[in-house]
Chain A
Amino acid sequence: MAGRLSSLTLFIALTGCAQVHSGGMLDPAGPVAQVQRDHFLIVVALVAIVIVPVFLALPWILWRYRLSRKSTDYKPDWDFDRRIEWVIWGVPVLVVAVLAAVLWINVHRIDPYRPLALQGVPQGAPPLPVQAVGLDWKWLFIYPEQGIATVDELVVPAGRDIAFDLTADGPMMSFYVPRLGGQIYAMAGMRTQLHLAADAPGGFRGLNTQYNGVDFHRQSFRVRALPPREFAAWAARARSAPPLDVARYAKLVEPSVTARPLVFGRVEPDLFAKVIGKYEGGSAPHHMAQAAR
């Protein structure tokens, strides 16, 4: 039957993802994505307990009890069996109970707000703070300790917990680096947090996943994880770039796509707080609305 065949194809397609991944969550490059991948596989395995019987029993029943076979055990009034009832309620209950326990553990292990416990890193070692601001249609990353900023390029030291603070200066956006894990919304006037780390040096893709207008599909950024020493060297070089002053920031906020990543050598220390503060109280900028009226 075509139905059965196509279901099979779907399953192959689902399991085939492990081979065809192209920088997705099944190819983790950091501890958070690792937990997500493991959780994915555990859920699939546990739910299989419930769904595999359907794939086995249904074809058999359809074959055996088709009208043309004139089965002798036709029982039109058979409609209940207490033992079967225990199994079909009980097994899913047990599966969900186990899933709930696994969920409880993992949801806390990779709580976006919680610093990561990384292997080979001493307990209590401070994470690297990065402030991410979602703009139409670009990401601004501020490094408060280094006093520098980048647009559409996130450079981080490999093996170190990166503590993101996120907000938006524009509509809501969602920050996501598929191979490193996580995803969290960035909203104007609010601060959300996220912790990510890369296992080893490498390059990854990051993006905004929440639709915010015509150039939404172009709001992606490069992530470069460098060995710690190279990161320090990069940050030192970045300081010689031009500063992110008020005028330049005002230009960035305008809806546009930057052709290539930008680097700024100096940032107002409280820019991130100012961006959030812009939306508090009654002084929200409604420049586009006014222009439209």
Chain B
Amino acid sequence: MISGLSYWIFGRLEWSDLLIKSNAIATGASCMVVIVAIAIVALLTWTGRWGWLWREWLTSLDHKRIGIMYIVISFIMMARAIAEAMVMRTQQAMAAGGGTDLVGAEHFGQLFTTHGTVMIFFVAMPFLSGLINYLLPLQIGARDLSFPFMNAVGLALTWAGAVLIMVSLTVGDFSTGGWSAYPPFTELAFSPGEGVDYWIWSVTLTGIGTTLTGINFAVTIYKERCPGMHLMRMPLFCWTALCTAILIVFALPPLTVASSLLALDRYLDFHFFTNGSGGNMMNYANLFWLFGHPEVYILILPAFGVWSEVISTFSGKRLYGYRSLVLATMCIAVLSFTVWMHHFFTMGQSANVNAAFGFATMLIGIPTGVKVYDWILTMYRGRIRFSAPMLFAITFLFSFVVGGLSGILLSNAPTDFAMHNSLFLVAHFHNMLIPGTLFGFIAGYMYWFPKAFGFRLDERWGRIAWGLWTAGFFAAFAPLYSLGLMGAMRRTSQTYDPAYEPFLYVALVGAALLFAGFVALVVQLVVSTRHRDRLAVPIGDPWDGRALEWFTPSPPPEWNFARLPQVECIDAFAREKREGDPYAPQDGDYADIEMPRNTGLPTLIGMAGIACAFGLVWHIWWMAIVGFVAMWGFLVARSFESRTTRTIPAATVREANEAWLSRARMARAVPREIEFTAANTGRAEPLA
């Protein structure tokens, strides 16, 4: 009777699931989560910041604040995922040749699963959502995204997924089935615990949030461009945002379907992907990679957009081959849906199918190669400044072509037969995702940071971070190419071949360097914040920027632009600086501006989502039902809210705008040679 009652209240959850884990490292991580959570709560209470957090951030519908919150999530989760990578590499190096285990095989399985899941869904995806959220309206001359409330809901579902995956560190275990969660290993018969359920619900929550965000981005680009901003005048970053948004809209639903069907298998004894009773895991592989392959382009296209902006700005030159780059981006977006089957060349389909999908995959190499050449030609005849974002771009260009080569090798079934599931594959996708995606996002973070916060990041620490990330990347992944060719497989907690040992040690050093690179980013942020007065660039254009976002104060006002800009060409702001007077007083009439009113509903939806998902994971049915009903209840409540906007009077707008313009007129225009000194207050002198 008691046990029956406890099941109704606590589901499968027992005391033994809390905090204490299979080994010291896992227990330490589990305790750390709890300690950090308590510390944050204490700090907020101590400094009396709860009201501020709620009013300024958690209820805000401002795309800029939402963008910043996405990137904060990304950095927090990155700390976790890099630490996990360190533990895995240490385990492999220690256990090589039959040495001692650091974490054991079961925990190792959880580590590679959470590392992959976190890095893809809770580091890379929030980072790109954050960058696009912040920049897109500024770059196309809009006040906000089309659906500010939906935007906040997307963010809430993303952090709900992230919280759930952090909870799994402390309560129970996570899946060992890899970030792709291939059944039948993840079916109930082989993974009976709560781990796979954690994976399913964290990914489903964030997947739905991302779908909403993708719709929002696409609609915003189609509908909210300022007068004169034709599609072919948009900055390249907006083009990549558009392609990414379209990919999200088409690619995320298959993921949600796949994870939902897997949930039906596990919860209601369906047989979509089980070994027997008519199940077939190949259907899962098709659905998952129908999402998974476009996903890698969802991740990398915004980074391509960042590179286009960074390289053009720091070369002091127009982007070479704008039309080529747009065409190449679109080609990649379309082709990304034609190649998913290269993820399972070895599943036994016919040679013709393998050849066709190999060919389709290689086709992507053409527009990608064109992009690399276009960026190099953008530097050609320019005036290159080796700023930290530009240094990341240079590492990217050198390493990306190596990743391209390994990608072509993997896209050829004859070679893929030998490299599938090997460390060569691991090296390849990290080669694309670290210099390609992550370096792009870090460069974008450093490049646009002064826009968001009004002060530059410390340049010296930026270069140190670049050095560590670059050295760390090559040291960590070059050995994996060799190991893969020697026949070492991924997801092995230990290897027995002594020939692997030196490579594993180099890879461990690389992982440590990458971790140091992350620490350098944190140090950079702390140092810059302490010196924010010396680094301040309130006028808003510290890098001689080219697109509209630089024609705003730093940070921009809530309404972005006092009057929506009118553009006549690509790089409108750069032209205005050379030929006109962008900071001239904007006389004439200012109008009232309507902005979305703050609301706490998205945050409540996120919290209800966590309750629902947690209840499902532990079979606490009352909690799952309450959470689910609450999620929809809050959404319905929103539809009854009639006062969703508030008006900012024209006088306020005029005052703020004219003050900024007059400050800009009084400031000295700073030449590029001294843009990293305190003299740079955010008004750039264009190169001549």
Contacts and interface: CB of A to CB of B under 8 A. Distances in A.
Interface string B343-365: 01011101100110011001101
Interface in A21-72: 21-26, 33, 35-36, 39-40, 43-44, 47-48, 50-51, 54-55, 57-58, 61-62, 65-68, 71
A146 interface: no
B434 to A, nearest CB: 13
A13 to B, nearest CB: 4
Contacts of A253: none
A85 B409 contact: no
A181 B495 contact: no
Closest 8 CB pairs of A and B: A284-B276, A292-B192, A178-B487, A22-B499, A209-B421, A6-B474, A25-B418, A111-B351
With a 10 A CB-CB cut-off, give which of B185, B386, B473 has the most chain A CB atoms. B185
Contact of A79 (B106, B321, B478): B321
B189 A289 contact: yes
A44 B282 CA distance: 31
B482 A282 contact: no
B509 interface: no
B316 A187 contact: no
A9 interface: yes
Contacts of A123: none
Contacts of A75: 317, 381
A5 B277 CA distance: 56
Interface string B367-387: 001101110110111111110
A39 B376 contact: no
Interface string A162-197: 000000001110101011011111011110110000
B93 to A, nearest CB: 15
A207 interface: yes
B50 interface: no
Contact of B421 (A17, A92, A210): A210
Nearest to B266: A289
A120 interface: no
Contacts of B380: 61, 65
B374 A171 contact: no
Given A10-B478, A103-B358, A217-B105, A209 B489 contact: yes
Contact of A281 (B277, B281, B355, B413): B277
A273 interface: no
Contacts of A35: 414
Contacts of B391: 3
B377 to A, nearest CB: 7
22 contacts: A10-B478, A14-B482, A20-B486, A36-B414, A39-B414, A61-B380, A67-B316, A68-B673, A78-B317, A78-B381, A80-B321, A92-B365, A96-B366, A99-B412, A103-B359, A112-B417, A113-B350, A171-B190, A179-B487, A214-B105, A279-B276, A281-B276
A213 interface: yes
B470 interface: yes
A22 B279 CA distance: 39
Contacts of B192: 288-289, 292-293
Given A25-B415, A207-B489, A209-B422, 13 more contacts: A14-B482, A21-B485, A50-B369, A51-B401, A54-B401, A71-B383, A79-B318, A79-B319, A171-B275, A172-B185, A210-B421, A211-B176, A214-B105
B4 to A, nearest CB: 15
Interface in A94-136: 96, 99-100, 103-104, 106-114
A47 to B, nearest CB: 5
Tier of interface size on chain B: 35 or more
Nearest to A74: B383
A212 B290 CA distance: 23
Nearest to B394: A3
A22 B391 CA distance: 36
Nearest to B370: A88
Contacts of B317: 75-79
Contacts of A174: 346, 420-421
Contacts of B321: 79-80, 85
B399 interface: yes
Nearest to A182: B417
A215 B271 CA distance: 26
B324 interface: yes
Nearest to A194: B348
A38 B420 CA distance: 17
B627 to A, nearest CB: 24
A107 B376 contact: no
Given A3-B391, A23-B487, A172-B281, A66 B384 contact: yes
Contacts of B369: 50, 88, 92
Contacts of B176: 211, 213-214
